[in-house]
């Protein structure tokens, strides 16, 4: 952990009030923690624009009654077996399945996997959440 540095900010009054509201609504105990996490979020977003390993989660909702869909989704995931850390399948009802896939790879690989899965007929929803290996956040000590 690096040393704590104090800084002061100049903000327009309206923006300041909005910041106060955001901090209160999100349940943070102080502004510093809120702003620190905003910075972390931005750093993780930046990681996804660089050529470095990131972690991403793909949430899929699909109709498993669609012919060959389950097989196709499995086949696609096998093409990315080196990138996928884990996946979980849940049967939501008689027809609909949810699958969560956690991958660690270069951003482009994870985006391609998400795109290929999303494009299959019978996939009702696919969402990619961007994450991080956390390595840069650790070394930056924030």
Return the number of the residue (36 or 65) whose C-beta is nearest Ni ion: 65
Return the number of the residue (36 or 91) whose C-beta is nearest Ni ion: 91
The pattern of x and - marking residues 93 through 132 that bind Ni ion according to CB under 5 A reads ----x-----------------------------------
103 in Cβ contact with 85 (< 8 Å)? yes
Rounded least distance, CB 64 to Ni ion, Å: 5
Return the number of the residue (60 or 105) whose C-beta is nearest Ni ion: 60
- Residue from 18, 91, 125, 135 touching Ni ion (CB under 5 A): that is 91
Chain mean position to CA 20: 26
Return the number of the residue (44 or 97) whose C-beta is nearest Ni ion: 97
Q: Does 18 bind Ni ion (CB under 5 A)?
A: no
Rounded Cα–Cα distance for residues 91 and 103 (Å): 21
List interacting residues with Ni ion (CB under 5 A).
Answer: 91, 97
């Amino acid at each position: 952990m690096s040393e704590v540095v104090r800084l002061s900010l100049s903000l327009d009054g309206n923006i300041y009030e909005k910041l106060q509201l955001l901090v209160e609504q999100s349940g943070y105990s102080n502004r510093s923690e809120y702003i620190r996490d905003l910075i972390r979020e931005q750093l993780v977003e930046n990681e996804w624009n660089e050529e470095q390993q990131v972690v991403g989660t793909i949430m899929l909702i699909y109709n498993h009654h669609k012919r060959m869909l389950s097989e196709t989704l499995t086949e696609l995931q096998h093409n990315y077996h080196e990138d996928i850390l884990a996946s979980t399948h849940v049967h939501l009802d008689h027809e609909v399945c949810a699958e969560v896939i956690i991958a660690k790879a270069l951003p482009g690989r994870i985006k391609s996997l998400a795109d290929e899965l999303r494009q299959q007929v019978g996939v009702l929803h696919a969402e990619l959440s961007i994450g991080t290996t956390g390595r840069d956040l650790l070394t930056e000590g924030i």
